[in-house]
Amino acid sequence: MACGNATYCRSLHLNEDNGRFVLLAILILVYLLCGAAVFSAIERPSELRAHGRWNGTLLNFSETFNISLQELNSFLREYEAAIAAGIRADALRPRWDFTGAFYFVGTVVSTIGFGMTTPVTIAGKVFLIFYGLLGCAGTILFFNLFLERIITLLAVVMKAVRERRIRNSGLLPPGIRHDFSAYSLPGWKPSVYHVMLILGLSAITISCCASAMYTPVEGWAYLDSLYFCFVTFSTIGFGDFVSSQSAAYEYQSLYRVANFFFMLMGVCCIYSLFNVISIVIKQVLNWMLEKMSCLFCQRCNNANAFLGRRNAIRPGSKSRQRRFGQPPDSDGPCDSDTEGRRLSGEMISMKDLAASSKVSLAIMQKQLSESANGYPRTVCGSSRHNGFSGGVGALGIMNNRLAETSNSR
């Protein structure tokens, strides 16, 4: 059955970024609801049993020592305040000596925030607001620069492996077998999925090595140590497990240096992995939007084709490339997440949106290829003029988007 009118089809036209944003928001909401259901089913019975045991313990203690529950609860509230100040029944390291304070500021700027140490004075809380604002911003920049360098390193390594395999295969053209440096591996680009796999294996290796250290030193089970590593490296930082808190350790200086090293490398590696995974998630969203376009637009193909010619640019269109004097496989004057379409203020049909499903992945692969070959990444002249340039992955996409937005004003 054909569409009743063009208004129905026009309502299916979504801005690409807004469509992806709304779909991601819905999926995150569903993800949160599913997670809440699973954790509630797993943890709620244990919580109820713990409440029952604790109430029984309080009642027995009150009857045994002839103390009213009101007085006992008042004492427990005082003890909770002492815990918040860092006082425990067992001996712990000082919270606010220089080494303790350094550990605290490290959890602040890395956004881990275990919560076992918190400022209690007004001056400390006010200073934390301004200190954390600058420190967190600087640390995020450090993580992005680390991501750029680790991806460059991986791209160079993957290119070297590829060159070695080509040499051993005997498939080189006759004129360059003795001068392989002049061979540029035409058509080859490092795979983003290989980068994701390498970063994932690196994160697992660091977590396993760190857990092997935490298990005997902190007295945790190995699974608890792995859990602590993920919670810490991903900067979730619940605070139920916190390393390096006892008053003394055997080989204490060596352990604290190793603890700092594992945390730094783990956070950087997981942050880089999250950035690469986010690009893959974006590809999944584009695939879902393509399927949605097939579902909602199949009854108004003619109207969509008419509106698509007026309101949208097909990213993969060869005619568009010829119109701008570009060969079909050229990269164009500037690579960005919006390459091949107009800026985000223009409406774009769902069919045209599906045609751009591999843009982000292509950007990342091109950046990897340029890094591996030692070429400077292509940056728009307007990007340099506006100060938005450089970066790979999410940082590069954001910089290009800022450049385009600034240039359009």
pLDDT, position 176: 56
- Tokens at 400, concatenated: 């290009």
Range scoring the smallest mean pLDDT among 155-169, 206-220, 357-371: 357-371
| pLDDT, tens digit, 9 for 90 and up, residues 109-121 | 999 998 888 898 9
Cα distance between residue 349 and residue 303, in whole Å: 11
pLDDT, position 52: 93
Cβ(115)–Cβ(83) below 8 Å: no
Cα distance between residue 91 and residue 81, in whole Å: 17
Q: Which one, of 10, 23, 12, lies nearest residue 295 by Cα? A: 12
Which residues 6+ apart lie within 8 Å of 17 measured at CB? 344
Rounded percentage of the chain residues whose pLDDT exceeds 90: 32
Q: Where are the domains of the chain?
A: 19-89
DSSP, res 377 = P
**Three-state SS at 317:** coil
Q: Give the pLDDT mean for 351-370.
A: 54
Cα distance between residue 36 and residue 191, in whole Å: 35
Find the length of the chain: 409
Cα distance between residue 391 and residue 367, in whole Å: 9
